[in-house]
Structure 1
Amino acid sequence: MPETTTHTLAATGATLTYDIHGGVIGGDATGDRVLFLIGSPMDASGFTTLASHFTDRTVVTYDPRGTGRSPRTDGATETSPDEHADDLRRVIEALGVGAVDMFASSGGAVNALGLVARHGHLVHTLVAHEPPSAQVLPDREAALAVCADIHATYLRDGMGPAMAKFLAVTSRKGPFPDTWADEPAPSPADFGLPVEDDGSRDDPLLGQNLIGCTGFEPDFTALRAAPTKIVIAAGQESSGELAARAAARIAAGLDSELAMFPSHHGGFLGGEFGQQGAPEPFAKTLRQVLDAHR
């Protein structure tokens, strides 16, 4: 692996930490654009495997505010996609390399769409993989209510019961019925999650990002007008799931074809967080997409 250097950057309400893998700030020794890999709330550690397939170019990863090494300094308990988008702007401008290529996963894809809508000159090609914007779904009212219920469950009962609902919701195939609240709640024990509430309420997914991320509505007019080449992608195994359905709707809103990538929502993972995707074919597909939009 190329040498990695770690940097910090002051932002409004947070200190951001990002890593540069190969190359240096101010230039990319390979001649290719810098490749920025982002998730949310997943931090830089989730891209270890994917980055290892791009050692021929400078790769940047970072910890979004409120996660990993990027602590919030304002005491806020929720983060909006607009805040994340502004953080991304700050990091890209600090790199000093002009427009970057960007692969953005899940909540990171939501935040990247917010960035491109406002600062498209900073991103040459964006591959937005499964942005979970429930706001764009035909069943948006039920889907948003389900997400609000997960958040309320977290605040009331803690991580285990809320995460069980989250896992059940994200793996569910097809639209949410208006009668979703009548369905029995999944048991945390069935997912190997703690049943007892430990009292903590600092989970970046369930507490900080869930409502803002799923409630995000893309600015299609601004995205279509941006200079960025935007590719919306979904996993081949994700058909019918919330994030994949949202990706298809966003692609349609941009008058573009949905790009299909190997595996599932975490298809680039190579064992990070105990999850296994298909990182080698995933990276090959990502490289092909980026090369097609040079």
Structure 2
Amino acid sequence: MENLKALAYKLREDVVDIIAEGKAGHIGGDMSVMEILTELYFEQMNIGPGNWEDPDRDRFVLSKGHSMEAYYAVLAEKGFLDKEDVIANFSKFGSKYIGHPNNKLPGIEMNSGSLGHGLPTSVGMALAGKKNGQNYRVYTVMGDGELAEGSVWEGAMAASHYKLDNLCAVVDRNRLQISGRTEDVMAQDDLQERFCAFGWHVINVKDGNDIAQLREAFEEAKRIKEKPTLLIANTVKGKGSPVMEDKAGWHHKVPNAEEVQKIKLDLEKGREAALCE
């Protein structure tokens, strides 16, 4: 588990390299979602380059598609992509490594970026698995600002109706979006009550940047029957460096050379601390 904590910091360093070289990227959300992606891809999900075409593989949908740089880092570490190729070519003219998920690349199930579509699409994937008698699980990660989209709630209603216990959704609850605090834009403090009212099993993860807490929540989700599960992962936007943490201005920002140096030093310290735990 400690190795995954350290890995999450290492992957954050890769994100900084990707964004600094490509001169674009949603770095704040990349940092907040990293432990979620790390736990899913390196502990929870039955998925990898070796079984990518297996119909019984688990499915993952990054509904908050603007956190693509974090996703690139994870996919490269998992062996789907070449990390150096991603860093060298991200966001370049004509590159296949664009700023949102592209299912022409290995490891990516669906295109996303237009918010609100990941959950309803995941509902379809989970329902198909049920209908076909398959045992795969479907995971999707949404942003908290994304929950203002009506299609999210249509998907939530359908998931409950069809008793999709093979579906687990995660909200990256970092409380910031492009226009400021989520509570100022569209209040969400009652998320647990809302999803419970829609018939979901809801787990509130106190620290969504803690691997141990995430693991406990994902394992609980696997035990739930006849209900979909939602994890509310309370995270920190820009997690890993005080330069960025909990600052709306880092929703989409390219760090300058001095900031890159400071951020990478903070991330290196975080990685070393995780290895010493």
TM-score category by the smaller chain?
A: 0.3 to 0.5
Bigger fraction of residues in helix: 2
Using structure 1 for the length normalisation, give the TM-score.
0.32
Bigger fraction of residues in strand: 1
Work out which of the two has the higher radius of gyration on C-alpha atoms and give 1 or 2.
1
Using structure 2 for the length normalisation, give the TM-score.
0.34
